[in-house]
Structures are given as structure tokens and as C-alpha cells.
Amino acid sequence: MRLMLCYIRKHLGMFLVAVVFLAIETFADLLQPTFMSYIVDRGVKGADVGLIWRYGLIMLGITAMGAVGAVVRNTYASRTSQLIGKEIRLAIYEKVQALSYENIDRLQPASIITRITNDVTQMQNFINGIMRIMLKAPVTCVGAVALIIFQMPRLLPLMLVILVCAGLLIYGNMKLGYPRFDRMQRKLDGLNHTSREFLSAIRVVKAFRAEEQEQEKFQEASLQLAEAGISSMRVMAVFGPLINLTVNGGIVVMLWLSGREMAGEIGQLMACVNYMTQVLFALGMVSNILNSAVRAVASSARVQEILDETPAQAEVSARKELSSRAEAPFSDDGKRREPGGSVSIAFRQVSFAYAGTSRPAVQEADFTVREGETVGIIGPTGSGKTTLVNLVPRFYDATRGQVLVEGRDVTLTPTEQLRGYIAVVPQKALLFSGTILENLRWGDKEATPEEVRRAAEAACAEEFVSKLPEGYDTLLGQGGVNLSGGQKQRLSIARALLKKPRVLILDDCTSALDATTEARVLAGIRRESAGMTVLLVSQRIATVMKADHILCMEDGRVCGFGSHQDLMTDCEPYRAIYNSQIGE
């Protein structure tokens, strides 16, 4: 709720305009029954046609005033709630951008998507409801009760009993409803996660004929959501009719008392019945909006959880004073000064374990890569190769030890600056909806057509892009679905080369290429990466053999570091990989 109030305060002017016109509309609604009673008791009963016309025209004017109030109120309420929804979504999006991989792993992407869509919509609807219904309901209720008591003072005890009973029922509705709606939102997270996992792996599912198994998983997640929804709706199904019963019972009692005590004031009785109907409508609105409030509060808490999430990586201000030794390799704009030494990347007894696991993925890694060198990284599947290189751009932070890039501890470097001179080509080639040119210019938004073409040629992408009907203006589907795996990998490499980074990380990014194409791509990378420090991760020993140094990993440990000949002599795991792929 605190979050919603914060955003309402930002748009307080528009909010108050909506409230003012809501008050005008409510005032008009409350006047109608009174004037109707005047027409019946004074005009019809007294056969005064002129009075009937006068009050009729007044009622028509009041109706018009209420209609104008409703139109303006709805316009401002909708505009305000839409703006607030937009700003909350943007705040979540910006926050997620600032979070580390560790935070996102904990929150889960499917849950984040639910919060940025469904949860924000719940909050947006509630804020809209506040301006359209929630503020109107208590004003209508209080005004109607006051007018009933004014016209029939003897009904005061009855009205107090009705309001107390209705208030207790509404409180019980909220008390029982909140945990159920919160649980329903979490089950919706689970359903979204299951759907997202299935859609992202649909080819594997079909290849293994696992549709039935996945359908069972989806049915289970859907059943859990349905059960949570039924539990939530059951609360509403019980309390809504009870509130209606309370107010309708009050109307029956009021009619009985009026029949005993009133002497022919039919118009006054009609007005009281109308006001009781307005009380019933107002309490129904309060009940509905409070059900919406229960959902909105649960959603707000889930959104607030993201906004309050502390990044696992502490960010450093770009202006923070560092020691002269750590500052030495950098200029204020992130460009490298002429270094006193030539160390580019250094690991100092680095260990790392993923959250929730006790076994480190990387253990006591200690090595140095000098500027301009290419280091191949090889090892069995699950040996920690990708985890190791992910520590360099601070996708994760080391649990122990230090990772240094050009002499500075990466945890003391502003993330934007650090990643500004590092380019990463991940294992899975990731492309975005848009043209090929737009995807490549992620590396350099100001790149000229000639620079784009040169990077594409180095990655052997020019040869297939030039054959496409639209060339570099060819539109790609989400994730580049209209390209083959090898084509996507080559475009990802070209994008990284276009950035002209000082550190280039290639994480098994040629796995979908045949040996001949891979050799040509690696030759192009060597040509374009002159002067860059390159970390080349691969499963293929032929890919890393020509590197300046080779780092071999096994079970998270660095078991060898040196040239191919050095490792063939001194590193048994490397020799085993060589023999299995090349032969003795």
C-alpha cells in the first residue's frame, strides 16, 4: 500500500480533480431521492402541477450535473491510473536491469514477468477503483444514512446495527481474503514458469515425445492455480451475499417500522427506501473494492519486494576515490591509460559457489592473463569454465578472492564502466526482434556500414547476410528464430567484434559451426582482435590449441595453465581430452 500511496502523491493534482468531480457526482445522486419525495408528497399529493414541473426540471439539471461529474471523474481516474501503472512498470524494469544474475536467479524470471504485468495491473485497477468507486462509496453511504436519519430519526439504532454488521463482514472478508489472494498470485507465478519453460524448450519436448509429460506438469500447475482461485472466490461468495442480506434485512425492518409509525408520507418513505438502496449499493461497492484492495496489497508487496531487492553486487560510484595503484590503468572516461605493467586479467585465489549450494563451482583459481593475449579455457562439461569467465564482467561476484581487470578489483569498478570495455559472446546466441543491422549495432550504435560489414566478414556472417533478400535490413523474429544456430552464433560474434572491446570473452560460441567454418571464424577473430585480451572457452581442443596459453579446468579447479606442449607434458586431464578428440 505504501508503494501505491507514493505514486498517488506524485499525481496528486489529477487525483484531486477526479475526487472533486466524484464529490459532485455523489452530491447529485444523493439529492435525487429527496426531490422525488418532494414531488410525491407536495406535488402529486397536493395536485400542484407547477411544483412537479419545477422539481422535475431541477432533478433534470442535477442529473446533468452528475453526468458531467462522472465523465470528468472517469477521464481523470483512467488517465491517472494508467500513468501510475506505466511508472511502476518502468521502475520495476529499471530495477531488474540493476540486479545481478544472483538476484534474478532468486526472484525467477517467470515471477518477475508476472509482477511487471499481472501484479501492476491489479494495482492499477485498484487505484482506478479508488477514484471511481472507493471514495464514492463511503461518501454515498454516510450521506444516505444521514439523510435517512434526518427524515426518520427513529431509524438511527437500526442504521447503526446495519453499519456495524456490514463493517464486521467487510473486515472478515479482508482478513480471510488477503492470504488467499497472495497464494493465488504465487500459483500464477508457478503456471507462468511452467508455460515459459515449455515454450522455450518446445523443440526438445517434441523431439522426445514428452508432450504428455509436459501436459501433466501444466495440468498440475493449472490445478493448483484453480484451487487457490476457488479458495479466494469462496470467501467473496460467502461475504458478498451476507452484506446484501444485512442491508436488505434493514430495508424490510425500515418498511415495517414506517408502516407502523408514518401517516401517509409516501414520498418520504420512497426517499428512505432509495437511500437504503444506495447504502446497499455503496456497501457492495466497498466490498468489491476491498476485494480488489486485497489483491492490490498482495500485488504491491510482491512488486515492493523487487524494488527493495538489494543488488547482490554493491555498485561503486564512478567518482569514488580509490587508491592510486587501483586507479592507475584507467582514465576518467573508462579509456585505458598507458599501463605501467601489462597485466590485463588476474585471478587471486578466487572461489565461487552459487546461492543454495555448498560445493564451489570455482575453487581457488589463481592465474594471470597479460594484455593482448588469447587464453583458451577447456575442461569437461560442468568443470566451471562458464562460471569462471562470468566473474570477469561481474555477472556474479567471487565468494572469496579477487578478480582484477587491468589492475583494478572488479568490485571496486563501476559496473557500467567495467562492462563498457568487455564484450561477451555467450554459449546461447541471443538476438532480438528487429533487423540484423539493429542487432549488430548493439555493439556500437554509431558504427558505419563499412564497420558493420567488416565485423560481419570477420565472423563469416557477411556471406549469408548478403544472400538474404533484404540483406542487413532483414527482420529477425524473437530470438532470431528465422536463422540457424550457426548463423545466430556468427552474428553474435560480429556484434561483439563491432564493440571493439579491450577484453573479449567467447564462451563456447562456435559450437554450432562445422570445423571448416569455425577455423575461418577463429582466423577472423584473431585478425580483428589484435591488441584485445581474449578468453576463449571451448569443448574442442582444436579450437584452443593455437591460443597463447591454455587453462584446463576439472571439478572447478584450474588443473593446468600454459602452452599446449606444457599441458601435454604436465596436465593429465588435458592430455586425456587431447587423446579422446585428436588421438594419441
Please give the share of the chain, as a percent, with pLDDT higher than 70: 91
Same domain, 272 and 393: no
- Output DSSP code: residue 318: T
Task: Tell me how far apart the alpha carbons of residues 355 and 106 are, in angstroms, rounded to a whole number.
Answer: 8
Q: Is 442 within the bounds of a domain?
A: yes
Task: Tell me how far apart the alpha carbons of residues 581 and 584 are, in angstroms, rounded to a whole number.
Answer: 9
Q: Is 322 within the bounds of a domain?
A: no
Q: What is the mean pLDDT of residues 541-549?
A: 92
**C-alpha cell belonging to residue 18:** 477526479
Same domain, 293 and 341: no
Q: Identify the three-state secondary structure at position 106.
A: helix
Same domain, 144 and 192: yes
Neighbour-count burial of 449, counting CB atoms closer than 10 A to its CB (0-12 exposed, 13-18 middle, 19+ buried) = exposed
pLDDT band at 259 (very low <50, low <70, confident <90, very high): low
Of 413, 152, 172, 452, the residue nearest 276 (C-alpha): 152
| pLDDT confidence of residue 392 | 95
Please give the share of the chain, as a percent, with pLDDT higher than 90: 39
Same domain, 382 and 431: yes
pLDDT band at 326 (very low <50, low <70, confident <90, very high): very low
Residue 299 confidence (pLDDT) above 50: yes
Of the ranges 43-52, 69-78, 235-244, the best mean pLDDT one: 69-78
Q: Which residues pair with 475 in a beta bridge?
A: 435
| pLDDT confidence of residue 330 | 44
Residue 46 confidence (pLDDT) above 70: no
Of the three residues 265, 290, 307, the one that is the final residue of a domain is 307
Q: What is the mean pLDDT of residues 277-299?
A: 77
Of the ranges 37-41, 183-187, 402-406, the best mean pLDDT one: 402-406
Q: Is 316 within the bounds of a domain?
A: no
Of 330, 354, 299, the residue nearest 126 (C-alpha): 299
- Give the range of the structural domain holding residue 494, as residue numbers without chain letter: 336-581
CA dihedral (182, 184, 190, 196) positive or negative: negative
Q: What is the mean pLDDT of residues 100-124?
A: 87
**CATH number assigned to the domain comprising residue 437:** 3.40.50.300
Of the ranges 145-154, 223-232, 549-558, the best mean pLDDT one: 549-558
Same domain, 252 and 389: no
Of the three residues 292, 307, 322, the one that is the final residue of a domain is 307
Task: Tell me how far apart the alpha carbons of residues 542 and 381 are, in angstroms, rounded to a whole number.
Answer: 16
Same domain, 268 and 369: no
pLDDT band at 137 (very low <50, low <70, confident <90, very high): confident
Q: What is the mean pLDDT of residues 474-478?
A: 86
Q: Is 40 within the bounds of a domain?
A: yes
| pLDDT confidence of residue 196 | 77
**C-alpha cell belonging to residue 22:** 466524484
Q: How many CA atoms lie within 13 A of 277 on its CB side?
A: 10
Same domain, 296 and 359: no
pLDDT in tens, 177-208: 778 877 887 888 788 888 878 877 787 887 77
| pLDDT confidence of residue 323 | 40
Q: Is 321 within the bounds of a domain?
A: no
Of 378, 333, 308, the residue nearest 537 (C-alpha): 378
Of the ranges 25-39, 117-131, 282-296, 312-326, the best mean pLDDT one: 117-131
Amino acid at 198: F
Same domain, 125 and 30: yes
- The reported pTM is 0.70
| Own/partner long-range contacts of 410-414 (Cβ < 8 Å, ≥24 apart) | 411/313, 411/314, 411/316, 412/316, 412/320, 412/322, 412/326, 413/316, 414/315, 414/316, 414/317, 414/318
Q: Identify the three-state secondary structure at position 315.
A: coil
Of 26, 24, 257, 284, the residue nearest 146 (C-alpha): 26
Q: What is the mean pLDDT of residues 214-220?
A: 89
Same domain, 416 and 538: yes
Number of structural domains in the chain: 2
Amino acid at 149: I
Q: Are 512 and 489 in contact (CB under 8 A)?
A: yes
Residue 437 confidence (pLDDT) above 90: yes
Which residue's entry shows cell 589492475? 407
Same domain, 244 and 378: no
Q: Are 133 and 289 in contact (CB under 8 A)?
A: yes
CA distances from 461 to 205, 529, 544 (A): 30, 16, 22
| pLDDT confidence of residue 223 | 92
Q: Is 314 within the bounds of a domain?
A: no
Task: Tell me how far apart the alpha carbons of residues 162 and 158 are, in angstroms, rounded to a whole number.
Answer: 6
| pLDDT confidence of residue 29 | 83
Same domain, 543 and 427: yes
Q: Is 33 within the bounds of a domain?
A: yes
* 267 vs 92: which has the higher pLDDT: 92
Of 160-169, 407-416, 458-467, 557-566, the poorest mean pLDDT is in: 160-169
Q: Is 213 within the bounds of a domain?
A: yes
Q: Can you give the C-alpha Rg of the chain in angstroms?
A: 35
Q: What mean pLDDT, rounded, does the chain reach?
A: 84
Q: Are 479 and 431 in contact (CB under 8 A)?
A: yes
Task: Tell me how far apart the alpha carbons of residues 347 and 365 are, in angstroms, rounded to a whole number.
Answer: 6
Same domain, 348 and 300: no
Task: Tell me how far apart the alpha carbons of residues 335 and 293 are, in angstroms, rounded to a whole number.
Answer: 52
Q: Are 279 and 247 in contact (CB under 8 A)?
A: yes
Q: What is the mean pLDDT of residues 443-464?
A: 93
| pLDDT confidence of residue 456 | 94
Q: At what angle do helices 2-10 and 12-38 cross, to 10 degrees?
A: 90
Of the three residues 287, 307, 327, the one that is the final residue of a domain is 307
| pLDDT confidence of residue 26 | 84
Of the ranges 209-218, 235-244, 513-522, the best mean pLDDT one: 513-522
Residue 531: count other Cβ atoms within 10 Å of its Cβ: 8
pLDDT in tens, 59-77: 889 889 989 998 999 899 9
Residue 565: count other Cβ atoms within 10 Å of its Cβ: 9
pLDDT in tens, 332-351: 444 443 443 456 899 999 99
